[in-house]
Amino acid sequence: MQILLVDKRTAAEALSVSIRSVERMIAEKSLPTVRVRGAVRIPVTALLSLVSEQTPLPSFELDPAIALCNS
């Protein structure tokens, strides 16, 4: 079975930050949470989204000759 939710400690380890940093992200609403019988859990999909949003896409320099051939 796939893990869907993690606790703050596991989220912090996955992001290589402190638990306090995770708590700040939760307070800032930049990291959504789910409550399961009172326990705060973070969706794994939210962690993946956070990382993908923070990761810059590589920039490619386009050769003008190639650009002209494709137009």
Contact 1, 12 (CB under 8 A): no
Q: Give tens-digit pLDDT for 2-51.
A: 999 999 999 999 999 999 999 999 999 999 999 999 999 999 999 999 99
Model confidence at 63, pLDDT cuts 50, 70, 90, reads: low
Q: Give tens-digit pLDDT for 44-59.
A: 999 999 998 887 766 6
23 token code pair: 């708590």
pTM reported for the whole predicted model: 0.74
